[in-house]
Amino acid sequence: MTVVLAIDTATPAVTAGVVRRGPSGVDVLGERVTVDPRAHAEQLTPNVLGALADAGLSMADLEAVVVGCGPGPFTGLRVGMATAAAYGHALGLPVFGVCSLDAIGVDTEGDVLVVTDARRREVYWARYRDGVRVGGPAVDAPADVPADASAVAGSPEHAALFGLPQLPPTVPTASGLVRAVDWDTPPEPLVPLYLRRPDAKPQQQSARP
């Protein structure tokens, strides 16, 4: 059995949960989710502490950390990933990064499209078959996303654009984050999935005369 802290800040939802993982599956001991796209930094630590309190555990009981690495906006991802790395360093725990879309798609059945808000009238998306990713992740305008799936999950507002039956979950969950990890593979360095080039570009130096 492994007690895992799972966090995600890749969407407007600030997810933090404490999950016990064992041979029979995962058991969510405590979970706090706050939907506020402008409060990732303010809400993440309170949600972590609240989930631990709900589970009746302390930081000393944790044995691993899982964090969603996007796709998502720079600011949101930075909060979650930096926090996960800090917990791992301070507590001496392995930190596993997963695709945040996988944390939604892993809890679906059938041929499902998962979408989240990418802003700029675009969506982040990936395609799943019985919980396994078979396409994406990518970022596109909704009209350019292959929508020949049987259902759609993720952001309700954006899922509604595809005219498909909508399924839960709507945001990354603690259970989904833990289930998305390949536990047979050692953790690798955390790499954010931005899927876009930065808006700010360095100014080119003018050629000297």
| Residues 72-100, mean pLDDT to the nearest whole number | 96
Please determine whether the domains at 2-100+171-179 and 101-167 fall in the same fold group of CATH.
yes
pLDDT tens by residue, 94-141? 999 999 999 999 999 999 999 999 999 999 999 999 999 999 999 999
Would you give the end-to-end CA distance of the chain in angstroms?
68
- CATH of segment(s) 101-167: 3.30.420
* Structural domain spans, the chain: 2-100+171-179, 101-167
Question: Contact, 124 vs 71, CB < 8 A?
Answer: yes
Q: Which parts of the chain are beta strand (E)?
A: 2-8, 13-22, 25-35, 64-68, 95-98, 111-119, 122-129, 132-140, 151-154, 166-167
Provide the pLDDT for residue 168.
95
- CATH of segment(s) 2-100+171-179: 3.30.420.40
pLDDT tens by residue, 6-56? 999 999 999 999 999 999 899 999 999 999 988 899 999 999 999 999 999
pTM above threshold 0.85: yes
